[in-house]
Structure 1
Amino acid sequence: MTALRESELRTAHLVASVLLGYPDERLYGARQVLAEAVATLPAGEVRERLTRFLDHAAGTVQSDLAAHYVATFDLKRRCCPYLTYYSYGDTRKRGGALLRFKHALRAAGFELADGELPDHVAVVCELSARGAVREARRLLQEHRAGLELLRTALADERSPYADVVAAVAATLPPAGRREQEAALRLAAEGPPAEEVGLEPYAVMEASR
């Protein structure tokens, strides 16, 4: 795999941040610009997967892609785009984990909209695109198990978004044994839960 230069990482993460957001006019109005940006990346998995998603979007009615986005990311907990959820669920410990993301965003002068959480994959990718590449990649790497589980869950759902998450994962060093084992453990057990937590994956999946 060809290592991307910092400018190429910023480009790849910028495109991914747009593609992993809700597919509104921002995405559909910028498809050509995004495609041109992806074309500047070196040949490889990142470029191939981002191009594949853009091709899918080009052939999909906006309302249909929006409906798929909601059905996938909002209604399937295994496809949660918030990275700290995989390690901490909705437990109190998640608040401390979110602070690391908030501090990284604040240090980069990145202010979130009201109600937006800082650990959304799209937000972390935008952090990189704004120039905080090292900080964003560190956060992604620290939550690599959750990222891999998200990628696998999207692939199982045959979602085109699996390509975008796979492209983001491909900008990181290859997953080590510890990260692979953590992803398998999360897949088997689901995130931690407290008495106010969410149902395990198995319960949610059975009710679909």
Structure 2
Amino acid sequence: MRERLSAGVSRATARAAARQVASRVLTYPDDRLLDELGLLRSAVEAPGMLPDGTREPLAQVLEHIRATPLGEQQRQYVATFDLRKRCCLYLTWWAHGDTRNRGYALVGFKQAYRNAGMEPPRNELPDHLAVVLEFAAAGDPEAGEALLCEHRPGLELLRQALHKAASPYAGAVDAVCATLPHASADVAAAAQRIAAAGPPAELVGLEGAGPQPIQLQPYDPHRRGSEPFGTNLDGAVSR
């Protein structure tokens, strides 16, 4: 049975709330995330406040956060997203690997943020899924959704990899995909190609000719200088 949104809650607002919650739980866990847990759970548990297909998976992730000691959460996060390439949270990696084309794609993300009147995060790559979700939730919803849809094959592969690893974070990516249009046959075909061949590798003989391989790091929105857009969690998930 499809759940109806509460009166006065638009579909755009519901999508924004789900994406904001997903953004928070896909950040590196810290004390501030634990402090925000009550607000996040209230947004998820409020009847009719989230789109179909997002409430249960997000609730499962939040329950994991509630029940797991912070140190163990941090260990799991690093083991999942830092040590497993197939669980990469950086969207351009799936399409471009660590090639010069990835550098050009990152410029496109930065330009999308600046077109919306926002500066890209200073201490994080602009294609980190948590950053893109915050942009889609509280920045420019149309531009943010376009970035997510453009990189849908990578999102689908990330979702599959997290489920295969039995990761508690799988529900967050399930919810993200549930806020997007239905994946087309082209998306499925592109995902299959990446799964079979892996992301592209840099061409040989071009050392030093383009952007150097990028060192990945967990996205922490509370690290000094890395708050992407100065958004307010209360305003994003409680309106």
Pairwise same-fold verdict (TM > 0.5): yes
Alignment partner of 1:37 is 2:46: no
Please give the root-mean-square deviation of Cα atoms over the aligned residues, in Å.
1.9
How many percent of aligned residue pairs carry the same amino acid? 47
Aligned to 2:29: 23
Residue 123 in structure 1 maps to residue 131 in structure 2: yes
Give the distance between the partners of 2:24 and 2:51, measured in 1 at CA.
21
C-alpha separation in 2, matches of 1:82 and 1:59: 27
**Counterpart mapping for 1:189-200 below 5 A:** 189-194=197-202, 195=204
Letter in 2 for 1:139: L
The structure that has the greater radius of gyration is: 2
1:78-125 CA distance string (max 9 Å, x none): 111000000000010111111121111122333344331000110010
Query: Quick one: distance in 2 between partners of 1:183 and 1:66?
Result: 29
Counterpart of 1:63 (choices 67, 71, 78) is 71
Structure with more helix by fraction: 1
Task: Tell me by how many angstroms 1:42 deviates.
Answer: 4.1
- Correspondence for 1:82 among 67, 87, 90: 90
Instruction: State yes or no: 1:99 paired with 2:103.
Output: no
Of 161-170 and 100-109, deviating more is: 100-109
Flag structure 1 segments of 5+ consecutive residues without an equivalent. 199-208
Query: What's the TM-score once normalised by structure 2's chain length?
Result: 0.78
Tell me how far apart the structure 1 counterparts of residues 65 and 33 of structure 2 sit (CA, whole Å): 9
Specify the code of the residue in structure 2 equivalent to 1:134: E
**One-letter identity of the residue aligned with 1:18:** R
Aligned partner of 2:225 in structure 1 is: none
Equivalent pairs, count = 198
Deviation at 1:43?
Answer: 6.5
Contact 1:84 1:94 in 2 (8 A): yes
Aligned equivalent of 2:19, options 5, 13, 17 = 13
The one of 138, 141, 144 equivalent to 1:136 is 144
TM-score by length of 1: 0.89
User: In structure 1, what residue type is equivalent to 2:146?
Assistant: R
Equivalent residue, structure 1, for 2:171: 163
